[in-house]
Structure 1
């Protein structure tokens, strides 16, 4: 495949390295605006840009009839608009808050645990995420996805970003976000009671897991039409 990289920072460069190893080519890179004529040369575009650029990048690709996947977080207020554009253009779009194959398996584990814990009101759930200091949004998109999955499968109503040890009401998930130098990403969900804790945790060791997942998603979506997620790529919808 000929790949356009919209966002050519650390993640973009990691995707480039792994894509070349998988015998793909990089036909266009940009970190500031999109040249539509160059974009049209691509078989697929991969967006790992910044929140303020993501909507324009994705829309440009869809209007150019180039399938696009995006791993940029912090722009989801515009998600429904992008879905509408994709449908209008009969395009191909896949968004994931996290492309790591392990994290997407972790999403399913988290949802299943939330189902198991429903009704056990003696447990208070909390969520912690840790990322590198260059990450612009907090909490992470992955943390928000995890919180939403817990809410969808429990009696909880909302989540709230809090300082460490800050309390919330019983129907709200407290989410703690920490920024530490050279951390690729850690997400922990803990159910605490007076007598015990139950914890699940995912720890990333490098960016390569995210980059590989993005390339696999790009390979999967190339000849498809519609709006998809990593659940479709990994065939997790019926688990």
Structure 2
């Protein structure tokens, strides 16, 4: 019932856009085709005018899910909602089979170069992923920030480069000696205390490259080096905590 209503509302939106602004064309993903056609048909019946739809192939993961969704939510273009580093890392970790497709859809890399990347196998595919991540990030956030994100990734995963672009969260001295579970939840690094607890139980939380094994471990001042400590959550998510106050 809700899906049926969605089609009606989108069709009516198209009609109103036509009446108010003379809009005759609507673009969207392949999954919007029937909704767009419904709007074009409504315009034809109500106004005796032609309207048109244009759809684009969706980027999907190997299991058919829309790309751009993660366990933490959508990949935002706004760096206030998704840091440049996290944006870069999303494209750096795209499935092997999707790398060159993303290059064709989202970058200005020449087709000759893309054909060369299609020949890569095994670990060599990482070169293509690095290029993809840089190019998409540069288009959205600019070359300077893309380079900073690339350097941050090199610093964290390769032991070289500048980590200045690693996502940073401020921690006040009032939070010292609090349970790590509470700190992670309060900084919204996890959705809840339960998620933070599971992260520790499953061995996925590291501080300065040391695994946190104690479920009720506390955030101690001696964990900070020059006022900073590096959290790793899972295999590839890094956050720098900076002590203030």
TM-score under structure 2 length normalisation: 0.25
Point out the structure with the larger helix share. 2
Point out the structure with the larger strand share. 1
TM-score under structure 1 length normalisation: 0.25
